[in-house]
Amino acid sequence: MRVLVTKLAPYAVFVGVLLLVPAVFTRVPFFTMANAVQMGILAIATLGLVLLAGFAGQISIGQAAFYGIGAYSSAILTTRAGMPPLGGVVVGAVLCGLAAYLVGSFIFRVRGHYLALATLAFGLMLGNIARQLEITGGASGIVDIPQLALGPLIITGDLRYYYLVAAVLLVVIVLARNLVNSAFGRSLRALGDSEIAAASSGVDLARHKRVVFVVAAVFASVAGSLYAHWVTFVDYHTLDLLLSIQLLIMATVGGLRTVWGAPVGAFLVLTLSQAAQELLPRLSSNIGGEFEIAVFGLALILVLLFLPSGVAGGVLGLLKRRRRTAPRVPTDAS
Amino acid sequence: MTDSAWLRLVGLTKRFGGVSAVDDLDLEHRAGGVLGLIGPNGAGKTTVFNMLSGAILPTSGRIELDGHDVTGLRPDQMNGRGVSRTFQNLEIFGSLSVIDNVLVARERYVRGGALGAMLGLPSGRRAAREQEAFARELLARNGLVGLADEPAASLPYGLQRRVEVARALASQPRLLLLDEPLAGLSRAESTSFATLMDQVTDEGVTVLLVEHDVTTVMSVSDRVVVLDHGSLLADGPPDAVAADPRVRAAYLGEELDA
């Protein structure tokens, strides 16, 4: 019983926070529920990167590519093939999983840091293809994507959409935590620390990396689909390199070595971005929104300097140290 | 003799660019005991070691283990064949606890897959508990009692070396490759090394020991092989090898008395 309570406590706290968001975001003038939806969606995509970069030590600069595949799958299948939105979400996720499996099968057989380059190329290539093809709507993209519906219930309005996104975020966090805390997850952290030692201990590096790469891609795809059905419009910007970098920044700011880094990072970076957009033009009329990226960079540098394990990682570290210094109950007499 | 050879290197060669680090090396060894591999710097010891563990591919030649050709297998596949190793410059999993370092080498016994793990299926839980008990016992036998849940990175150097040995033993290897296991250890820590060697070989594990400290190699090995410029220079019981004038010449007056 006590074990179950300590096991579920983090989730209870997280659900509490998720439920508090609407109360805060609808009252504080700075935020809107649309911000909350965006944070939730990007947290889902960032979570995949936390697993991949944080736990397995593999840097991907193409997370937006899988986000884009999800968004475009939803858009194309619902507007051109008459599929229900949920079908678009599922097909997109399956496509992403397959694409990641194929890319991963080639990349991870080679030693070295080729993943960053390969995912960068993959993302740029997909962006160009999406801009050229007719089926993706060319440069103007695809409009009038139907809103998400669960059976007859169409989810309209930012508040309802937020609850949906929050539920999905909770599910992927549970999945990710289960993975991280399993024997498989232990091997992932091991190979993130030392590949040669992990391999010599029997860990099949290529297989482990490929599995996380697929999981990260599927998470990104679901996030992309959720985005497409929310804004009901998609163009090649969803595949943008800038988004891939933004997701990496979110993962780093939040904390790469904890699944909680994803929601924390998405919240912090988007809040900062919003603040920059509002405040910078007020300081001087010459400063525009393009300075936003400089603010991201500054935030990243500050976190790397003062909180190398990210904000969530730093807070968890503090909690752990507290627990350590507290008198320990002798559990095992070894 | 040939038929009972358990580990066999046939014409094993490794070239880096134009330089032969290991040149047409033939070696046979029966199962059991400690095989010491020594030689001056650049003799090719580490290269042989790395080929045996699957870390690098031979340019040509063959490695046979228990009658099977294992040439060109990856490190994890070599581990599956019963070969495990330690590292000269410690490669512990710094972000893991001591017991988790050992448990990584036991993942294959906790099947259930990534998908099952994500969904929280109970399939692997019993196996996981069994492995944890195995790991705790292994830690106790390697002088790491009470440290199981400490972060491995927080241990002093000598204890981290023990964690590495425990991790290598966790795979229950038939061939244990030790790369400079005494580097950086104090005299007291080195003394317990001989005890460890006895313990390991008593369990039927064959040890291949690459070590700079020739005195220790001579005292713990059952057989010593000397490499020089990638080729076999001498081979035999420790005292015979130590007395070999060619070996003495190669080491140019270094202390060789066993």
Domains and CATH numbers, chain B: 7-251 (3.40.50.300)
CB contact under 8 A, B84 and A203: no
| CB nearest A200 (choices: B84, B117, B128) | B84
For residue B145, pLDDT over 60 is answered with yes
Rounded Cα gap, residues A139 and A137, in angstroms: 6
Question: Is the CB of B220 inside 8 Å of chain A's CB atoms?
Answer: no
**In this structure, are residues A202 and B76 in contact, taking their beta carbons and an 8 Å threshold?**
yes
Distance from CA of A131 to the nearest CA of B (A): 35
Whether residue B256 has pLDDT greater than 60 = no
- Determine the pLDDT at residue A327: 44
- With beta carbons under 8 A apart, name residues in chain A contacting B87: 196-197
The alpha carbon of residue B136 is apart from the nearest alpha carbon of chain A, in Å, by 10
Residue A211 near chain B (CB below 8 Å): yes
Q: How confident is the model at residue A152 (pLDDT cuts 50, 70, 90)?
A: confident
Least confident of A39-43, A158-162, A273-277, B145-149: A273-277
pLDDT band at A330 (very low <50, low <70, confident <90, very high): very low
Segment A76-124, tens digit of pLDDT: 999 989 888 889 899 999 999 999 999 898 888 776 668 888 889 889 9
A283 versus B24: which is more confidently predicted?
Answer: B24
A144 CA: distance to closest CA in chain B (Å): 35
SS (HEC) of chain A: CHHHHHHHHHHHHHHHHHHHHHHHHCCCCCCCHHHHHHHHHHHHHHHHHHHHHHHCCCCCCCHHHHHHHHHHHHHHHHHCCCCCHHHHHHHHHHHHHHHHHHHHHHHCCCCCCHHHHHHHHHHHHHHHHHHHCCCCCHHHCEECCCCCEECCEECCCHHHHHHHHHHHHHHHHHHHHHHHCCHHHHHHHHHHHCHHHHHHCCCCHHHHHHHHHHHHHHHHHHHHHHHHHHHCEECHHHHCHHHHHHHHHHHHHHCCCCCCHHHHHHHHHHHHHHHHHHHHHHHCCCCCHHHHHHHHHHHHHHHHHHCCCHHHHHHHHHHHHHHHHCCCCCCCCC
Residue of B93, B103, B108 lying closest to A193 (CB–CB): B93
How high is the pLDDT of residue B69?
96
How close B253 gets to chain A, by Cα (Å)? 36
**CATH placement of domain A2-325:** 1.10.3470
Q: What is the pLDDT at residue A317? A: 85
- A236 has pLDDT over 80: yes
Residues of B in contact with A204 (CB under 8 A): 74, 76
Q: Which residues of A, range 249-308, sit inside 8 Å of B by Cβ?
A: 257
Instruction: For residues B165-177, give the mean pLDDT.
Output: 95
CA distance A175 to chain B (A): 5
**Please, which pLDDT band fits residue A250 given cuts at 50, 70 and 90?**
very high
Least confident of B94-103, B111-120, B201-210, B241-250: B111-120
Split at pLDDT 50, 70, 90, the class of B202 is: very high
Which of A193, A196, A215 lies closest to B95 in CB terms?
A: A193
Residue type at A271 in one-letter notation:
T
Chain-chain contact of A201 with B119 (C-beta, under 8 angstroms):
no
Chain B residues touching residue A193 (CB < 8 angstroms): 92-96
**Hey, is the C-beta of B120 within 8 angstroms of any chain A C-beta?**
yes
Residue B252, pLDDT score: 57
Chain A hits for B78, CB-CB cut-off 8 Å, are 200
CB contact under 8 A, B92 and A197: yes
Please tell me the pTM assigned to this model: 0.90
- Counting residues of chain A whose pLDDT is more than 90, the rounded percentage is 55
In this complex, do A194 and B93 lie within 8 Å of one another by their Cβ atoms?
yes
State how far the Cα of A110 lies from the Cα of A193, in Å rounded to an integer: 18
Q: Do A183 and B80 touch (CB under 8 A)?
A: no
CB contact under 8 A, A197 and B91: yes
Per-residue model confidence as pLDDT tens digits over A169-219: 999 999 999 999 999 999 999 999 999 999 999 999 999 999 999 999 999
Interchain proximity A201–B105, CB inside 8 Å: yes
A110 contact B CB<8A: no
Residue B258: the pLDDT is 44
Alpha-helical (H) ranges within B40-144 are 45-52, 75-80, 98-104, 113-118, 125-141
Could you tell me the residue ranges of all domains in chain A? 2-325
Give residue A150's pLDDT band: very low, low, confident or very high (50, 70, 90).
Answer: confident
What are the pLDDT digits (tens) for B16-29?
A: 988 899 999 999 99
Q: Looking at the complex, does the CB of residue A170 fall below 8 Å from at least one CB of chain B?
A: no
Q: Chain B contacts of A186, Cβ < 8 Å?
A: 96, 100, 103-104, 107
Report the residue of chain B nearest A198, measured CA to CA. B104
Q: Is the pLDDT of residue B92 over 60?
A: yes
Whether residues B105 and A202 touch (CB distance < 8 A) is answered with yes
Q: Tell me if B171 and A202 make a contact (CB, 8 A cut-off).
A: yes
